[in-house]
Chain A
């Protein structure tokens, strides 16, 4: 249930920490896992002291940037084909570019398996764990 003004965690190393949804693409309903959305970066991620000298290089995005993203976790439960439900404690997304490739190179955090059916296998393979 991600819609206008929803704040999501960004779980890749693109440099964004918290983003705000401004649009849901290709559907008239709230977004869920696997949906593409348009976000505004609200908070940048502060990397460790070793990378503080080259923040500009590490952070591929800045605060206020408008980017596309893919929802990878949602608080609203989703139904699997066998009737089971999966839900997470937070809403999270991964930034992608216009062609659909992830901007970041690493991801931290579990993602939902539903990404596979939606042509986001690349994100799924980057993720450390999927449910």
Chain B
């Protein structure tokens, strides 16, 4: 074939050009005519059963698909251990409760500020006197109570030396020695947050006089003789 003359080869090229173009459709429909005969007519080989007691070294010589398959290992799936998450769904609440048990064992503080449930609690508009551990008192009108679990706080406002002072105090802070209600609001306030009392029009001014009167009355009622309250803190 290869030794045929070059002229013949060129003619062969022309012959293919002159031939009518084969339609693509019959090619697609019968792709078998492109196949080798051996693949078309040979059937899939069925794996023959291996002879009994075949030595080990012979198995390795077999092709992979003819080797005997390893039996499927089904390892048991171990059950999960008990979870602490099911026991303690809300760890943050657990930590807070543990804190509250230390800071407020009797639940007294909580009742004093849970103004939605407890009727004898502090309410916005009340005049409150707070004494701290280091002895400093702070008096003021309660403007708001922020109920947030362990971070529950209340905002007091007062005028000291004609300067308005506000203090937001954490209810459960160990620094707070005692909280007393000096005077209730005359009328129930229609708002939960009395921030309008910061405006000069609504500002209550100083509450020091009311508090000193209260302390005097209290002392008279209890009948105890204490050292007079110092003017300055």
Q: Do chains A and B touch in the complex (CB under 8 A)?
A: yes
On A, residues with C-beta under 8 Å from B are: 73, 77, 82-90, 92, 108-110, 128-131
Interface check B153, CB cutoff 8 A: yes
One of A73, A84, A89 near B167 (C-beta < 8 A): A84
Q: Which residues does chain B contribute within 8 Å of A130, judged by CB atoms?
A: 233
Known: A89-B198, A131-B136. 16 other contacts (CB 8 A): A73-B163, A77-B166, A77-B168, A82-B173, A82-B175, A83-B151, A83-B173, A84-B167, A84-B168, A88-B165, A88-B166, A89-B163, A90-B164, A109-B161, A109-B162, A129-B232
| Chain B residue at smallest Cβ distance from A108 | B161
B175 touches A131 (CB 8 A): no
B138 touches A131 (CB 8 A): yes
Q: How large is the interface on B (under 10, 10 to 19, 20 to 34, 35 or more residues)?
A: 20 to 34
Shortest Cβ distance from residue A31 to the other chain B in the assembled complex, whole angstroms: 18
Q: Which residues does chain A contribute within 8 Å of B109, judged by CB atoms?
A: none
A90 to B232, CA, bound (A): 21
Shortest Cβ distance from residue B10 to the other chain A in the assembled complex, whole angstroms: 90
One of A87, A92, A108 near B166 (C-beta < 8 A): A87
B232 touches A86 (CB 8 A): no
Q: Which chain B residues numbered 7 to 63 have a C-beta less than 8 Å away from chain A?
A: none
Q: List 23 A-B contacts (CB under 8 A).
A: A73-B163, A82-B170, A82-B173, A82-B175, A83-B173, A84-B169, A84-B173, A85-B166, A86-B165, A86-B166, A86-B167, A87-B165, A88-B164, A88-B166, A89-B163, A89-B198, A90-B164, A92-B163, A110-B160, A110-B165, A129-B160, A129-B161, A131-B167
